């Protein structure tokens, strides 16, 4: 079997807020992609924040393994020995292209793309606001123009990164750029199940839907371009996002609303359409794409390829598939120190908090938003417990902490042991104590340059 072209479409802050996942929003093109391909219903990310989660997509390793313990524009960087997805595909003969945003390094040259179709990439001396140029409709059109003009003698890999659905800072705080998008009336939207139904939250949901519709249009442009160029049948298309919605109790939190993420995959004639309910992690995307491309997976990768789950032996599959009994996630630094590690099984979620933290952490873009203003006082006045345990079967929105319930003592201890074993196996620095910020030398009075 010839290796396929691979198009990896990724966006900001979406979670599973799509029509095909049951959300009350119109996303016909992404719903169509789900119908034609595979929808993963229990796919989770390694971190409820941007750069660390995205680092797992390109390395197949957890953020505390690959060095990305915080945001790329916050001076966190991938380790020098990490082997990255576009590098490996390029070495295997793929022509590699990047469209739109990336947020895993301030040194984009190290990603190894052959072609960069980007107005202004994130670099050391550029602000993260450069990502705002990567709007889905415009990036989709750029992809379409390149696909139409190219001969495609070699298989190609294209990373297509959309800015939506990240919040944008304005004079009133952070919103979803409502002047740029067509948005519904807030009274007409459905509330989010994990938040109270309040006016500021409704207004933000309405604004969000404008971005989601633009995102759907951008995906449609990419899919149409492949079809028009006669490449759809030979192309593996993957769509995903890096974490949950930019709303309280989602982004920045290890609840399912924060780490649950869309994952759609289409490869006509090779992968049958359907729904996969197995637990999956975004570290699994890396080895899956490499195996479809016929590229050896490097040592040290903790992701598990999903190819054996998707391809029958009659269609070239090898039948090897190692299903997960649990997935792991965590967070260390964002705009504040928020050290968390979590393990999720089919039924339970165990969360360990490694610092004195507010009841619910709100990233700055959420804190200074209409939705954040509705809940921040109550969320920040509480002290978060060090241990959280939730029965997802009876409490899917994770509101009742069972960590001190004697009926769940056995579950709590078992998951605690699983989490510690994983942290030991992956050499998690939190086991040695608090993780210093990236600018520690500047903070420390005997290390920083006070003359600067």
Q: What is the CATH classification number for the domain harbouring 415?
A: 3.30.1120.10
20-32 per-position pLDDT tens digit = 999 999 999 999 9
Q: Which of 27-31, 301-305, 309-313 has the lowest mean pLDDT?
A: 309-313
Q: Is residue 259 domain-shared with residue 370, that is, in the same domain?
A: no
Report the DSSP beta bridge partners of residue 351.
342, 388
Q: Look at phi and psi of residue 230 and say left if phi exceeds 0, alpha if psi is from -120 to 50, else beta.
A: left
Across 324-348, average pLDDT: 97
Whole-angstrom Cα distance, residue 142 to residue 429? 41
DSSP β-bridge partners for residue 6: 157, 236
Q: Is 161:10 a contact under the CB 8 Å cutoff? A: yes
For the record, the structure tokens of 162 come out as 């959309």
Q: Are residues 289 and 384 in the same domain?
A: no
Residue 420 CB partners (closer than 8 Å, separation 6+) = none
Q: Give the domain range for residue 72.
A: 5-315
For the chain, give the mean pLDDT.
94
Quick one: how far is CA 126 from the chain centroid? 23
Q: What is the DSSP letter of 133?
A: G
Q: Are 294 and 343 in the same domain?
A: no
Range scoring the smallest mean pLDDT among 58-72, 317-331, 343-357: 317-331
CB atoms within 10 A of CB 445: 6
Express as a percent the part of the chain with pLDDT over 90. 86
When mean pLDDT is compared across 170-174, 271-275, 396-400, the lowest value belongs to 170-174
Q: What is the CA radius of gyration of the chain?
A: 21
Query: What is the pLDDT confidence band of residue 290, given thresholds at 50, 70 and 90?
Result: very high
Q: Which of 315, 336, 368 is a domain's end point?
A: 315
pLDDT of the residue at 452? 44
Same domain, 179 and 104: yes
Give the SS3 label for residue 266: strand
Q: How many CA atoms lie within 13 A of 74 on its CB side?
A: 19
Q: Are residues 294 and 364 in the same domain?
A: no
- Regarding whether 370 and 293 lie in a shared domain, the answer is no
Please tell me the distance from the alpha carbon of residue 322 to that of residue 344, in angstroms, as a whole number: 17
Q: What are the φ/ψ torsions at residue 362 (nearest 5 degrees)? A: -115, 120
The domain boundary, picked from 280, 315, 350, lies at: 315
């Amino acid at each position: 079997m010839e290796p396929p072209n691979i198009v990896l479409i990724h966006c900001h802050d979406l979670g599973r807020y799509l029509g095909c996942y049951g959300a009350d929003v119109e996303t016909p093109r992404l719903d169509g992609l789900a119908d034609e391909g595979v929808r993963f219903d229990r796919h989770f990310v390694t971190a409820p924040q941007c750069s660390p989660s995205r680092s797992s997509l390109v390395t197949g390793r957890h953020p505390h393994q690959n060095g990305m313990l915080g945001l790329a524009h916050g001076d966190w960087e991938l380790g020098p020995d990490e082997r990255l997805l576009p590098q490996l595909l390029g070495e295997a003969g793929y022509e590699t292209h990047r469209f739109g945003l990336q947020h895993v390094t301030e040194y984009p040259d190290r990603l190894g793309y052959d072609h960069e179709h980007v107005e202004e990439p994130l670099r050391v001396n550029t602000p993260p606001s450069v990502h705002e140029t990567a709007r889905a409709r415009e990036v989709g059109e750029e992809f379409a123009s390149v696909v139409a003009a190219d001969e495609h003698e070699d298989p190609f890999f294209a990373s297509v990164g959309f800015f939506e659905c990240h919040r944008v800072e304005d004079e009133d705080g952070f919103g979803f750029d409502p002047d740029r998008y067509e948005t519904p009336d807030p009274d007409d939207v459905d509330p989010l199940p994990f938040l109270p139904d309040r006016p500021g939250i409704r207004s933000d949901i309405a604004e969000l839907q404008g971005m989601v519709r633009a995102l759907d249009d951008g995906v449609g442009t990419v899919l149409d371009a492949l079809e028009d160029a006669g490449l759809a049948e030979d192309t593996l298309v993957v769509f995903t996002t890096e974490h949950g919605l930019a709303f309280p109790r989602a982004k920045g939190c290890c609840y399912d609303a924060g780490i649950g993420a869309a994952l759609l995959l289409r490869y006509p004639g090779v992968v049958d359409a359907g729904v996969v309910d197995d637990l999956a992690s975004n570290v699994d995307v890396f080895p899956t794409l490499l195996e479809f491309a016929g590229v050896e997976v490097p040592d040290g990768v903790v992701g598990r390829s999903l190819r054996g789950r998707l391809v029958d032996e009659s269609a070239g599959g090898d039948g090897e598939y190692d299903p997960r009994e649990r997935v792991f996630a965590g967070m260390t630094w964002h705009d504040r120190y928020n050290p968390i590690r979590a393990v999720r099984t089919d039924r339970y979620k165990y969360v360990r908090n490694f610092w004195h933290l507010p009841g619910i952490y709100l990233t700055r873009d959420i804190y200074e938003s209409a939705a954040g203003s509705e809940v921040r006082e109550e969320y920040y006045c509480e002290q978060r417990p060090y241990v959280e345990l939730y029965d997802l079967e009876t409490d899917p929105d994770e509101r009742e902490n069972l960590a001190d319930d004697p009926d769940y003592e056995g579950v709590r201890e078992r998951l605690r042991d699983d989490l510690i074993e994983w942290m030991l196996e992956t050499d998690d620095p939190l086991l040695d104590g608090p993780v210093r910020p990236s600018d520690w030398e500047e903070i420390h009075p005997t290390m920083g340059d006070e003359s600067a």
